[in-house]
Chain A
Amino acid sequence: KQEVTQIPAALSVPEGENLVLNCSFTDSAIYNLQWFRQDPGKGLTSLLLIQSSQREQTSGRLNASLDKSSGRSTLYIAASQPGDSATYLCAVIHGSYKLIFGSGTRLLVRP
């Protein structure tokens, strides 16, 4: 059974810091991996999708990497801003394209 773990569970950093969020999964037979952002009381916003054949994807200040063989992905956020404060969720995509999520990392960027 696929299990997805995100470390740390919570993170507080001062504005301007670069930071890394970690995601690990137990079964490397995945189609893709997707990173989401969730604001309190809101739905999920897709940030980046990495296909299984890719090693990384970039969008603005965000960079996500994928190492299938070791079952790991990282989300790198450069020059963090208070507006980046949210919960970041990692999900792997299996058959039926259903998403299996980690519990998320709650990020607080302090002004």
Chain B
Amino acid sequence: GAGVSQTPSNKVTEKGKYVELRCDPISGHTALYWYRQSLGQGPEFLIYFQGTGAADDSGLPNDRFFAVRPEGSVSTLKIQRTERGDSAVYLCASRSGLAGPGGDTQYFGPGTRLTVL
């Protein structure tokens, strides 16, 4: 595709509910990242996929957060038993992984704004 897309753009849910956020990376990009951005802050790393596997999940805050990328393209971030503190913008980025400086650049989607009431 032309760029990274994320759905939904906005999600409002109630405390304790389960949510899924979807990311469609740029076609052919092998690396995919999830970040979370709170108001007035820079994004914080959550998890990194290389292909289908989670190569680095050190940024996931607790076991309520989980992400998958079963076919090495689309990824879903899943949050169980949501809490008000989970409210943030969730950003997805992809990277081609090719050799050279062009392969290092991460391209971001527009984000999903999650509000937990």
Interface residues of A (CB under 8 A from B): 4, 31-32, 34, 36, 42-46, 49, 51, 89, 91, 93, 95-104
Which one of A31, A101, A103 has the highest number of Cβ atoms from chain B below 10 Å of its Cβ? Answer: A101
Selected contact of B33 from candidates A42, A51, A99, A102, CB within 8 Å: A99
- Chain A neighbourhood of B41, CB < 8 A: 103-104
- Chain A neighbourhood of B35, CB < 8 A: 99
Tell me if B106 counts as interface (CB < 8 A to partner A).
yes
In contact, B31 and A97 (Cβ under 8 angstroms)? yes
In contact, B48 and A97 (Cβ under 8 angstroms)? yes
In whole angstroms, what is the CA distance A28 to B82 when docked? Answer: 37
- Chain A neighbourhood of B95, CB < 8 A: 97
Selected contact of B108 from candidates A43, A95, A96, A97, CB within 8 Å: A43
4 shortest A-B CB distances, which residue pairs?
A: A101-B42, A96-B56, A44-B108, A43-B108
| Extra pairs beyond A44-B108, A45-B108, A51-B101 (11, CB < 8 Å) | A31-B104, A32-B101, A42-B110, A43-B91, A46-B106, A49-B105, A96-B56, A97-B48, A98-B48, A99-B33, A99-B106
A49 to chain B, nearest CB (A): 5
Answer whether A98 and B59 are a contact pair too, CB < 8 Å, given A31-B104, A103-B42. yes
For chain B, give the interface size range. 20 to 34
- Chain B neighbourhood of A36, CB < 8 A: 108
In contact, A44 and B59 (Cβ under 8 angstroms)? no
In contact, B48 and A44 (Cβ under 8 angstroms)? no
Selected contact of A101 from candidates B4, B44, B101, B105, CB within 8 Å: B44
**Which chain B residues in 36-50 approach chain A with CB under 8 Å?**
40-45, 48
Answer whether A99 and B43 are a contact pair too, CB < 8 Å, given A34-B105, A43-B91, A44-B91. yes
In whole angstroms, what is the CA distance A31 to B103 when docked? Answer: 13
- 18 A-B interface contacts by CB (under 8 A): A4-B42, A31-B104, A32-B104, A36-B108, A43-B91, A43-B110, A45-B108, A49-B104, A89-B43, A97-B31, A98-B45, A98-B48, A99-B33, A99-B43, A99-B45, A100-B45, A101-B42, A101-B44
